Protein backbone atom coordinates (compact mmCIF):
# COMPACT_ATOMS: atom_id res chain seq x y z
CA UNK A 1 0.00 0.00 0.00
CA UNK A 2 1.22 3.49 -0.83
CA UNK A 3 -1.03 4.97 1.86
CA UNK A 4 -1.84 8.65 1.30
CA UNK A 5 0.03 10.32 -1.55
CA UNK A 6 0.16 14.02 -2.38
CA UNK A 7 1.49 15.93 -5.35
CA UNK A 8 3.27 18.22 -5.84
CA UNK A 9 5.64 18.31 -2.86
CA UNK A 10 6.54 21.97 -3.46
CA UNK A 11 4.79 24.71 -5.44
CA UNK A 12 5.30 28.41 -5.98
CA UNK A 13 2.42 30.46 -7.36
CA UNK A 14 1.84 34.08 -8.20
CA UNK A 15 -1.10 35.92 -6.69
CA UNK A 16 -4.23 35.21 -8.70
CA UNK A 17 -3.07 31.93 -10.21
CA UNK A 18 -5.12 28.79 -9.71
CA UNK A 19 -3.93 25.27 -9.10
CA UNK A 20 -5.00 21.86 -7.86
CA UNK A 21 -3.29 19.91 -5.10
CA UNK A 22 -3.69 16.21 -5.68
CA UNK A 23 -4.40 13.62 -3.00
CA UNK A 24 -4.99 9.90 -3.35
CA UNK A 25 -5.32 6.97 -0.95
CA UNK A 26 -5.34 3.24 -1.64
CA UNK A 27 -6.80 2.04 1.66
CA UNK A 28 -10.47 2.28 0.65
CA UNK A 29 -11.09 4.82 3.41
CA UNK A 30 -14.44 6.58 3.46
CA UNK A 31 -13.24 9.78 5.10
CA UNK A 32 -10.74 12.17 3.51
CA UNK A 33 -9.76 15.65 4.58
CA UNK A 34 -7.50 18.58 3.85
CA UNK A 35 -5.64 20.60 6.49
CA UNK A 36 -3.33 23.55 6.42
CA UNK A 37 -0.55 23.94 8.95
CA UNK A 38 0.84 27.32 9.84
CA UNK A 39 3.33 28.24 12.57
CA UNK A 40 1.58 28.69 15.90
CA UNK A 41 -1.81 27.74 14.45
CA UNK A 42 -1.65 23.97 14.48
CA UNK A 43 -3.59 21.90 11.96
CA UNK A 44 -6.74 23.57 10.65
CA UNK A 45 -9.38 21.69 8.69
CA UNK A 46 -10.18 23.13 5.25
CA UNK A 47 -12.65 20.65 3.72
CA UNK A 48 -13.59 17.06 4.32
CA UNK A 49 -15.53 14.23 2.72
CA UNK A 50 -17.28 11.22 4.25
CA UNK A 51 -17.61 9.41 0.94
CA UNK A 52 -17.68 9.76 -2.83
CA UNK A 53 -19.98 12.59 -3.87
CA UNK A 54 -20.15 14.09 -0.36
CA UNK A 55 -18.06 17.06 0.75
CA UNK A 56 -18.37 19.63 3.50
CA UNK A 57 -16.55 22.67 4.83
CA UNK A 58 -14.13 22.70 7.70
CA UNK A 59 -13.04 25.70 9.75
CA UNK A 60 -11.08 27.57 7.03
CA UNK A 61 -12.78 26.80 3.66
CA UNK A 62 -12.66 30.22 1.99
CA UNK A 63 -10.63 30.30 -1.22
CA UNK A 64 -10.63 26.52 -1.63
CA UNK A 65 -12.84 24.03 -3.47
CA UNK A 66 -12.93 20.25 -3.30
CA UNK A 67 -14.69 17.40 -5.05
CA UNK A 68 -14.85 13.66 -4.38
CA UNK A 69 -15.77 11.79 -7.54
CA UNK A 70 -14.08 8.55 -6.42
CA UNK A 71 -13.26 6.95 -3.07
CA UNK A 72 -9.53 7.21 -3.84
CA UNK A 73 -9.09 10.85 -4.89
CA UNK A 74 -9.74 14.13 -3.12
CA UNK A 75 -8.21 17.11 -4.95
CA UNK A 76 -8.03 20.58 -3.41
CA UNK A 77 -8.40 23.54 -5.76
CA UNK A 78 -7.14 27.04 -5.08
CA UNK A 79 -9.31 29.30 -7.19
CA UNK A 80 -7.26 32.52 -7.09
CA UNK A 81 -4.17 32.17 -4.94
CA UNK A 82 -3.43 34.79 -2.30
CA UNK A 83 -0.31 35.27 -0.14
CA UNK A 84 -2.41 34.29 2.90
CA UNK A 85 -2.63 30.81 1.40
CA UNK A 86 1.10 30.27 1.77
CA UNK A 87 1.18 27.22 4.00
CA UNK A 88 1.86 23.52 4.25
CA UNK A 89 -1.11 21.45 3.14
CA UNK A 90 -1.80 17.93 4.37
CA UNK A 91 -4.29 15.46 3.04
CA UNK A 92 -5.50 12.68 5.33
CA UNK A 93 -7.75 9.65 5.19
CA UNK A 94 -9.37 7.33 7.71
CA UNK A 95 -11.92 4.63 8.16
CA UNK A 96 -14.60 6.33 10.24
CA UNK A 97 -13.73 6.44 13.97
CA UNK A 98 -10.43 4.67 13.31
CA UNK A 99 -6.87 5.79 12.73
CA UNK A 100 -6.28 8.77 10.47
CA UNK A 101 -3.26 8.72 8.17
CA UNK A 102 -1.60 11.80 6.70
CA UNK A 103 0.15 12.38 3.41
CA UNK A 104 3.65 13.87 3.22
CA UNK A 105 2.40 17.41 2.57
CA UNK A 106 2.58 20.08 -0.12
CA UNK A 107 4.57 23.21 0.65
CA UNK A 108 2.92 26.12 -1.14
CA UNK A 109 4.29 29.63 -1.48
CA UNK A 110 2.17 32.39 -3.01
CA UNK A 111 4.11 35.46 -4.10
Partner 1 sequence: GQQLNQSPQSMFIQEGEDVSMNCTSSSIFNTWLWYKQDPGEGPVLLIALYKAGELTSNGRLTAQFGITRKDSFLNISASIPSDVGIYFCAGDRVGSNYKLTFGKGTLLTVNP
Cis upstream peptide for 8 (omega within 30°): yes
Query: Does the footprint of partner 1 cover residue 54 (CB under 8 A)?
Result: no
Distances (CA, A) of 101 to 90, 98, 104: 10, 10, 10
Q: Name which position in 76, 90, 93, 108 contacts partner 1 (CB under 8 A).
A: 90
Task: Assess contact for 33 and 47: CB atoms under 8 A.
Answer: yes
Handedness of CA 15, 64, 94, 1 (dihedral sign): negative
Q: Of residues 12, 80, 104, 109, which one binds partner 1 by CB under 8 A?
A: 104
Residue 53 or 104: the one with the smaller Cβ distance to partner 1 is: 104
For 50, counting Cβ atoms within 10 Å of its Cβ (0-12 exposed, 13-18 middle, 19+ buried), the class is middle
State in angstroms the smallest separation of the CB of 35 from partner 1: 8
- Cβ proximity to partner 1: between 69 and 98 the closer is 98
**Does position 31 bind partner 1 by CB under 8 A?**
yes
Binding residues (CB under 8 A) for partner 1: these are: 4, 31, 33, 42-43, 45, 48, 50, 58-59, 90, 94, 96-105
Amino acid sequence: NAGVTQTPKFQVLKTGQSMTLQCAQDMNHEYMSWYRQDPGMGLRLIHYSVGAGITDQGEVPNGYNVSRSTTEDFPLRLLSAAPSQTSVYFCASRRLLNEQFFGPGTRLTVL
